[in-house]
Amino acid sequence: MLVQKEELLKAINEAISNSKERKFIEAVEMAVNLKNVDMKKPENRIDTMVMLPNGLGKPRKVGVFARGETIIKAKNANADLVLSPEDIDALSKDKRKARKVANSVDFFIAEAPLMPEIGKKLGAILGPRGKIPQPIPPLSDPKPLIDRLRNSVKIRTRDKMTFHVPIGIKTMNPDAIAENALEVLKVVENKYENPSLVLRSVFVKTTMGPAVRVI
């Protein structure tokens, strides 16, 4: 294990206690800094989804691109946004609205047959934001994936040696936040052959609070 839970717990408690009272509930975030990795090589980059065992304290927003019966299923699953093929076409003609929609939702899923159309018409907006939809088979029930994504975070390094990821909110049990952090760090452990030689440092902080070094 790259980092012990006790180390994370100590840093998380310190970060929370050091943060001032705000008019909103701050997120708890983790920054992971890597080393000895050539990020110019795409195979060394991290681009993955992690389901957090204890969620984030508030569910992520999920949008669904669907047709016909799947639209009804998506609405029954309480998707935050349901978009039809007509909506795809309309958004492609209104870039400002498309950007607003892309920024309002954390994750998208889409019926597989719609993926080429989404890529062609909205790829330039969704791609750079890491919001390209996860495909699902036609007429399948999107609810299991929606439920999973509500408790998930996306880790994406691109060509950078650092990634930032939310691991909870200030009012959550610190132990639960630490367990979430360990789940994120498993990505580094599983990605690289010698993860202990790749991890430079780990910090935790609240949204507006000072960073606390874990290792």
Let me know: does 190 contact 198? Beta carbons within 8 Å: no
Give percent of the chain above pLDDT 70. 100
Let me know: does 146 contact 109? Beta carbons within 8 Å: yes
Give percent of the chain above pLDDT 90. 97
| Mean pLDDT for the chain overall | 96
The whole-number pLDDT of residue 147 equals 95
Q: CATH number for the 5-57+152-213 domain, one of 3.40.47.10, 3.30.420.10, 3.90.1010.10, 3.30.190.20?
A: 3.30.190.20
Residue 144 tokens read as 């299991």
Average confidence (pLDDT) over 91-114: 97
Q: Topology of 62-149 in CATH?
A: Rossmann fold (3.40.50)
The whole-number pLDDT of residue 1 equals 80
CA dihedral in degrees (4, 41, 48, 176; nearest 10)? 20
Give the domain ranges of the chain.
5-57+152-213, 62-149
**pLDDT tens track for 180-214:** 999 999 999 999 999 999 999 999 999 999 999 99
Q: How many whole angstroms separate alpha carbon 168 and alpha carbon 55?
A: 7
Q: Is the confidence at residue 111, as pLDDT, over 90?
A: yes
Cα 44 from chain centre? 19
The whole-number pLDDT of residue 205 equals 98
Q: How many CB atoms lie within 10 A of CB 68?
A: 12
The whole-number pLDDT of residue 22 equals 92
Q: Is the confidence at residue 150, as pLDDT, over 90?
A: yes
DSSP string, 168-211: EETTS-HHHHHHHHHHHHHHHHHHSSSGGGTEEEEEEEETTSPP
Q: Is the confidence at residue 2, as pLDDT, over 90?
A: no
Average confidence (pLDDT) over 47-67: 95
Q: Is the confidence at residue 99, as pLDDT, over 90?
A: yes
Average confidence (pLDDT) over 13-41: 95
